[in-house]
Amino acid sequence: MKLKLIVVLLALFVVNTSFSQRDLPTDYLDADFHKERRELLRSSMPANSVAVFFANAVRNRANDVDYIFHQDPNFYYLTGYKEPNSVLLIFSEDQENSESKFNELIYVQKRDPVKEQWNGIRLGVEGVGKTLGFDTVFNAEEFKNNSIDFSSFDVVLLYDFKNDVRNSKYDDADLYSLIQQFKTMSSYEVEQAIMPVDENPITTKSNINVNTLKRLMTNLREIKTKEELVLIKKACEISAVGQIEVMKAMNPSLSEGEIQGIHQFVYKKYGAEHEGYPSIVGAGNNGCVLHYIDNTKMSAGKEMVLMDLGAEYHGYTADVTRTIPANGKFNTEQRAIYDLVYAAQKAGIAKTVIGATTGEVDEAGRVIINEGLVKLGIIESVSQGRKYFPHGISHHIGLDVHDLNNGGVLKENMVITVEPGIYIPEGSDCDQKWWGIAVRIEDCILVTKDGPENFSELAPRSSQDVEEMMKEESVLNAFSLPKLD
């Protein structure tokens, strides 16, 4: 009896919770943005087709602890919904049943007072309809009973499934169950899902197409809207402030973990929900590991510190890298490498214009680095440059740190990184004075009709400006903790 009373009280709390009264940020993308994205996708779909999107999986960290849920970027882009265990269907033409006409359906987690007590308020059917602007919303548990005849469509568009979804035996509306239910309804078979790049299946046996939808979504996402650019710029500026605060606070005794912590504090201070990717803080030779994420070195000492981090703000991520001398002053070798990378980055940014390709941006920076390494005597010919500059110079950013793109020419309102680097690991085939020096400088560049715009320019880039910033006093210098055993 007492348990029933608790459940009833919780249910009353859930029912009476007003989403409009929750103290949330006011600068999320609005329902009209997501609706427009769905309409644009619909207009590009083949006739008599349906596109099926599933939310991201909840992934387990260890035992009964899961990783923080992060929505699938496409699902968020089209809906604004940030919860798991949901499925979205978009139809190329209006559908009709005995009750109504519709061209989209979304199935979402139902409200549950007990689960919400543990894990937070869910939007539910009412909340999704009211805040996200959907007219046809159902609880996910109703998906298995829907009357959609997937065989009636010429094409069923979807992303192929990954083998990373766990099955909860206590929930027949979790993502695993939704996927299995869809496979049953659509007669989905893996061997039938291998389709050509156009809309037509290679066999009349199946109408499943797992190739075309990615192309359609790429066409939408690679060019950013004005609303998206506001959020990307905010993410980049927050990331730049993180770099500035570390420059001010930097000293040889700081650990890689402490440096990462300063960045993350700044992100949270400005309202960024997450990091866009695992943070890279590499002191000395650690900086030569391109995706170094251990960040466990206990002190930076007299070495250079490479910091590649990006705030994620309302789903959109920055990607900003600075490399600084831990003692505040570049030595001769460090400055020579740093200035070479800086010159290459300036050349690459200058090429970030409408009609250019990322290959041309890459070449502009690579020529400078290769010739510079020869001049410094680190390599014998420009053909050896990739030994110390092994990666590309650019990638698109947006909802993903490596965002969807078609790989063609740059267009207005695309945002790419420009990130040349030189990495000379210990034991390299060159004078030992260069060993352990790693430098990368990375900024987020908007392509505009008036030329490139640097979204992360707040953070100093030239060696002289970096040294000047490192002379400034940090508010963190007064921060101290009691010594622990």
Confidence at residue 479, expressed as pLDDT on a 0 to 100 scale: 80
Confidence at residue 198, expressed as pLDDT on a 0 to 100 scale: 52
Cα distance between residue 479 and residue 470, in whole Å: 18
Q: Are 444 and 455 in contact (CB under 8 A)?
A: yes
Cα distance between residue 456 and residue 233, in whole Å: 8
Confidence at residue 96, expressed as pLDDT on a 0 to 100 scale: 87
CATH class of the domain at 18-220: alpha beta
DSSP 176: H
In terms of Cα–Cα distance, which of 456, 357, 347, 346 is closest to 411?
A: 357
**CATH fit for domain 223-478, picks 3.90.230.10, 3.40.630.30, 3.40.640.10, 3.40.50.2000:** 3.90.230.10
Please count the other Cβ atoms lying within 10 Å of the Cβ belonging to residue 113.
Answer: 17
Residue ranges of domains in the chain: 18-220, 223-478
Confidence at residue 442, expressed as pLDDT on a 0 to 100 scale: 98
Task: Provide the pairing of β-strand 415-418 with 443-448.
Answer: antiparallel
- What residues pair up with 157 in beta bridges, in sequence order? 51, 209
* Per-residue pLDDT in tens (0 to 9) along the chain, 485 residues: 444 444 444 444 444 555 555 789 999 999 999 999 999 999 999 999 999 999 999 999 999 999 999 999 999 999 999 999 999 999 999 998 877 899 999 999 999 999 999 999 999 999 999 999 999 999 999 999 998 999 999 999 999 998 889 888 888 899 999 999 999 999 886 444 444 545 444 444 589 999 999 999 999 999 999 999 999 999 999 999 999 999 999 999 999 999 999 999 999 999 999 999 999 999 999 999 999 999 999 999 999 999 999 999 999 999 999 999 999 999 999 999 999 999 999 999 999 999 999 999 999 999 999 999 999 999 999 999 999 999 999 999 999 999 999 999 999 999 999 999 999 999 999 999 999 999 999 999 999 999 999 999 999 999 999 999 999 999 888 887 788 87
Lookup: tokens for 451: 């030329």
Confidence at residue 13, expressed as pLDDT on a 0 to 100 scale: 47
Q: Write the DSSP assignment of 358-408 as a string of letters.
A: HHHHHHHHHHHHHHHHHHTTS-SSGGGGGGT--S-S--B-SSSSS----SS
Confidence at residue 187, expressed as pLDDT on a 0 to 100 scale: 85
Q: Are 35 and 133 in contact (CB under 8 A)?
A: yes
